[in-house]
A = this chain, B = another copy of it.
Amino acid sequence: MELSERAQAARGAIEPVTSFFLSLRAMDGQPDVVDLTFGDPHEMPLPALVDALRMNLEPRAEDWFAYKTSLAPARETIAAGLQGELGLPFEPDDIAMTQGAFGAIALAFRLVADAGDEVVIPEPGWFYAPMLRAADLVPVRAPLAADSFDLDVEAIARAVTPRTRIVVVNSPANPTGRVYAEDLLVELATVLEAASRRHGRRIWLLSDEPYRRIRFDGIGFTSPAVCYPWTLIDYSYGKVLLAPGQRLGYLALSPEIPRAVRDELRAAMLPLQMGLGWGFPDALMQYAVPALETVSIDLVELERRRDRMVQALGAAGYALTVPEGTFYLWGAAPGGDAVTFVAALAERGVYVLPGTVFDRPGHFRISLTATTPMLERALPALRDLGPG
């Protein structure tokens, strides 16, 4: 085997996703297939996004497309926005511009953690494990609460060891759509503070917040950064713009990080990003940040789709987690076996994501980025194969 061990480990950790991905090729060329798998767009890109790109495409200076690190106007816009959203005094120097949340997470994992360190991740949760393996880190899974999929602070406490360096919190959560309440985050902060003292080593919190602005029923959002000072925040514009092919995101240092440490991390972000592969967004995307700050997919329409699917699938007997945010709907697979269920749906031309890719083989996920007509076309098959 000529492949590095870390490349093998990363490939192994993402295998359930890539093999499902390959199975989707069966869809290619089939007419009338309804694809509810990934959070990809099924309508034309937002005109305001295209406008913002067009507006910044024509060069205005010799250095328009020269090497760009984190640009000041982008950082200033984001720091001001975060101040308003989270109520913490972010400054532009706290912001590292990255190629989406992937880039921000990759940066965070290497900024404070070294090879062999353990990182606690939620289960079910997003694809943190392959990213950790690629960074020579050890994923330790902490299950979310059994039925509610709420944050389970005791499960996290049990997962923490003297080698724990980071705990990842994802709210609004993919794939469950849950938004965690402040009292649970305060409880978590107490646990992490006590464990850091007990082990003589700081446990960092990575708050993965790409769905922060996608919430329903006017529900509030509390960032873990408000409850625990030692917090890094990653964000992506790929969700709210539904344009993940144009990479734009950031890593933000909490202003509550003690001054000396905050300064140390600020000074390290740029050289580390260069070392990791020049992880800055394209010039064009950074120029667009001020114009994009208020651009969003139609959240009212998204909530309407959520309501429709929750009502229709609920009436068909599905056990669902009613999403409070994100664009996903998470449910228990009838019969308890997502693979069989997903295969039977695929026979009917409806594709959903099996929980196997989230280490929960009894569940499935539907993406609400599908259009309403697509969702309506999927309902008969979902009803027929439902728990009845």
Chain A positions 227 through 262: 1 when the CB is less than 8 Å from some CB of chain B, otherwise 0: 000000000000001111111000000000000010
A136 closest partner in B (C-beta):
B115
With a CB–CB cut-off of 8 A, which chain B residues contact A285?
Answer: 282
A40 contacts chain B at the CB level, 8 A cutoff? yes
With a CB–CB cut-off of 8 A, which chain B residues contact A171?
Answer: none
How many whole Å from A126's CB to the nearest CB in chain B?
Answer: 12
Asked if residues B277 and A106 are in contact (CB atoms below 8 Å), the reply is: yes
A270 contacts chain B at the CB level, 8 A cutoff? yes
A6 contacts chain B at the CB level, 8 A cutoff? yes
With a CB–CB cut-off of 8 A, which chain B residues contact A4?
Answer: 110-114
How many whole Å from A151's CB to the nearest CB in chain B?
Answer: 25
A364 contacts chain B at the CB level, 8 A cutoff? no
Asked if residues B114 and A6 are in contact (CB atoms below 8 Å), the reply is: yes
* CB neighbors of B among A325-384 (8 A): none
A147 contacts chain B at the CB level, 8 A cutoff? no
A141 contacts chain B at the CB level, 8 A cutoff? no
Asked if residues B40 and A67 are in contact (CB atoms below 8 Å), the reply is: yes
With a CB–CB cut-off of 8 A, which chain B residues contact A13?
Answer: 275
Q: Which of A102, A130, A270, A282 gathers the greatest number of chain B CB atoms within 10 Å? A: A282
Chain A positions 213 through 224: 1 when the CB is less than 8 Å from some CB of chain B, otherwise 0: 000000000000
Residues of A in contact (CB 8 Å), total 83
Asked if residues A6 and B245 are in contact (CB atoms below 8 Å), the reply is: no
Asked if residues A14 and B274 are in contact (CB atoms below 8 Å), the reply is: yes
With a CB–CB cut-off of 8 A, which chain B residues contact A135?
Answer: 275
Q: Which of A43-51, A291-299, A314-322 contacts B (4 or more CB under 8 A)?
A: A43-51
A387 contacts chain B at the CB level, 8 A cutoff? no
A186 contacts chain B at the CB level, 8 A cutoff? no
A268 contacts chain B at the CB level, 8 A cutoff? yes
- How many copies of the polypeptide does the oligomer hold? 2
A100 contacts chain B at the CB level, 8 A cutoff? yes
Chain A positions 53 through 71: 1 when the CB is less than 8 Å from some CB of chain B, otherwise 0: 1100111011111111000
A245-B282 contact, Cβ under 8 Å, with A3-B112, A6-B114? yes
Asked if residues A8 and B40 are in contact (CB atoms below 8 Å), the reply is: no
* CB neighbors of B among A62-97 (8 A): 62-68
A181 contacts chain B at the CB level, 8 A cutoff? no
Alpha-carbon distance between A64 and B242 when the two chains are bound, in angstroms: 11
Asked if residues A268 and B134 are in contact (CB atoms below 8 Å), the reply is: no
Asked if residues B244 and A65 are in contact (CB atoms below 8 Å), the reply is: yes
Complex partner residue of A277 from B65, B264, B279, CB under 8 angstroms:
B279
With a CB–CB cut-off of 8 A, which chain B residues contact A68?
Answer: 245
A sample of 17 inter-chain contacts (CB < 8 A) reads A2-B261, A3-B111, A3-B112, A7-B112, A11-B267, A38-B67, A41-B66, A44-B61, A50-B57, A65-B241, A65-B244, A65-B245, A99-B278, A103-B277, A130-B274, A133-B275, A247-B282
Shortest 5 CB-CB contacts between residues of A and residues of B: A106-B277, A134-B275, A245-B283, A102-B278, A65-B243
Give 19 new A-B contacts, CB below 8 A, not counting A7-B110, A18-B271, A42-B62: A2-B112, A2-B264, A3-B268, A11-B268, A14-B271, A45-B59, A50-B58, A50-B59, A53-B57, A65-B244, A66-B244, A67-B244, A115-B115, A133-B275, A134-B275, A134-B276, A135-B275, A136-B136, A282-B285
Q: Name A residues whose Cβ lies closer than 8 Å to a Cβ of B.
A: 1-8, 10-11, 13-15, 18, 38, 40-45, 49-50, 53-54, 57-59, 61-68, 98-100, 102-103, 105-107, 110-115, 127, 130-131, 133-136, 202, 241-247, 261, 264-265, 267-268, 270-272, 274-279, 282-285
